[in-house]
Amino acid sequence: MDTIISVRNLRKVYAVGSERVVALNDINLEIGRGQICCVLGTSGSGKSTLLNQLAGLEKPTKGCVYIGKHNISTFSENQLAKFRQRNIGFIFQSYNLMTSNTALENVAMPLMFRGVGLRERNKRAMQMLKEVGLAERAHHRPSQMSGGQQQRVGIARAFVAKPKIVFADEPTGNLDTKTTLEVMEMMVRISRENNQTFILVTHDQYLAQYADRIITLIDGKIVSDVENVSIVDRMNAEEIKAQYMAEKEQTGVKAAEHGKTDGKHVPSEVLSHQPDTGQKDATPKEEPLPADQTEVPTEPVIDDVASQPTSEQTDSPV
Ligand SMILES: Nc1ncnc2c1ncn2[C@@H]1O[C@H](COP(=O)(O)OP(=O)(O)OP(=O)(O)O)[C@@H](O)[C@H]1O
Ligand SMILES: [Mg+2]
């Protein structure tokens, strides 16, 4: 396996008053380049905490996370921010689009952070919007789109700069069942087309079946780690999907309908709020960009540093 993420003896403990919450307990893990990997578990099992660790959004209490040759656990906040901009895409449950910007502007944003010029980034953002079937909505703002459309904009934004790794934390949590399946297929398809590593966090055992590999967490520990044939590769995919939809309807667990979460009935600041505990918002905010990030084009660094390691970027003791 061509490993892109390597986790060693990772432990995360939160202090809440005088109590300590062990959110992750001795996690060891290798994830291959291009793998579509699901982190599955019930609420509170540590899924988001693990994702935050893999993405360098939070520091481990013990252990470390390597991405490529980088021990990101040793990076400063500034290094991490730059590293994420160059190598990582995020898809959030609550979309986290910039409410005052159009779909096109939202999708183009990661390219701006990479110093791509206006014309080129608009071209690439438009191509990406086409890929997710939203070219006609390019000039619409999030509040003028349904939840499913907003999440497709979120997907386009996550993939537009071709990051090596895309993380998605309950990306379909606000979507109805039919849209959920469309969005799942879209994310898997795009990841595969570009050989990108895709890491999905979900509590839904069915949605986990879209992955090539399912890692199950209970109480911050990996209790199972199995290979899986993705639904998209199964002969009876349509049958499985129909069954899922029927089950969801029958049990009345149908996720929020369009209209509830489509931005028309909720204040825009609620939509851009990131509700998950401990999950810091890694998407660009509506703040002016520092000049150095707008001017200098930067290349992905995962491969670069493999050939030119520096002591600061590799193998620091934890
Ligand atoms: N910032 C924090 N401070 C204190 N405790 C936290 C923090 N973030 C998470 N926890 C605790 O760590 C444990 C794991 O939380 P985490 O958010 O990773 O769960 P999860 O599997 O993502 O759950 P959900 O499916 O509800 O999102 C929980 O017991 C949670 O209360
Ligand atoms: Mg979570």
**Over its length of 318 residues, how does the chain's per-residue pLDDT go in tens digits?**
899 999 999 999 999 999 999 999 999 999 999 999 999 999 999 999 999 999 999 999 999 999 999 999 999 999 999 999 999 999 999 999 999 999 999 999 999 999 999 999 999 999 999 999 999 999 999 999 999 999 999 999 999 999 999 999 999 999 999 999 999 999 999 999 999 999 999 999 999 999 999 999 999 999 999 999 999 999 999 999 999 999 888 877 544 554 443 333 333 322 222 333 333 333 333 333 333 333 333 444 454 333 333 434 433 322
Residues with CB under 6 A from ligand 1: 14, 16, 21, 23, 41, 43-49, 203, 276-278
Between 3.20.20.100, 2.40.50.460, 1.10.10.10, 3.40.50.300, what CATH number should domain 34-48+87-300 receive? 3.40.50.300
Helix (H, G, I), strand (E, B) or coil at 168: strand
Best CA proximity match to 159, nearest among 182, 130, 117, 118: 130
Distance 222 CA to ligand 1 centre (A): 15
Q: Compute the distance between CA of residue 28 and CA of residue 10 in angstroms, rounded to an integer.
A: 7
Residue 152, number of CB atoms within 10 A of its CB: 27
Mutation test residue for ligand 1: of 52, 207, 277, the one with most atoms within 8 Å of CB: 277
- DSSP string over 41-59: --TTSSHHHHHHHHTTSS-
- Which tokens belong to 187? 């994310």
Query: Looking at ligand 1, which residue's alpha carbon is closest to its atom 2?
Result: 278
* H helices present in 160-301, as ranges: 177-193, 205-208, 237-251, 268-271, 291-295
Angle between helical axes of 237-251 and 177-193 (0-180°, round to 10): 150
Centroid of ligand 2 to alpha carbon of 274 (angstroms): 11
Instruction: Give me the pLDDT at residue 249, please.
Output: 86
SS3 of residue 175 by DSSP = coil
Q: What is the pTM of this model?
A: 0.82
Residue to probe by mutation, ligand 1, list 14, 57, 205, most atoms within 8 Å of CB: 14
pLDDT attached to residue 1: 84
The answer to whether 175 and 148 are in contact (CB under 8 A) is yes
Q: In this structure, which residue's CA is closest to atom 17 in ligand 1?
A: 48
Which ligand gives the minimal distance to the CA of 50? 1
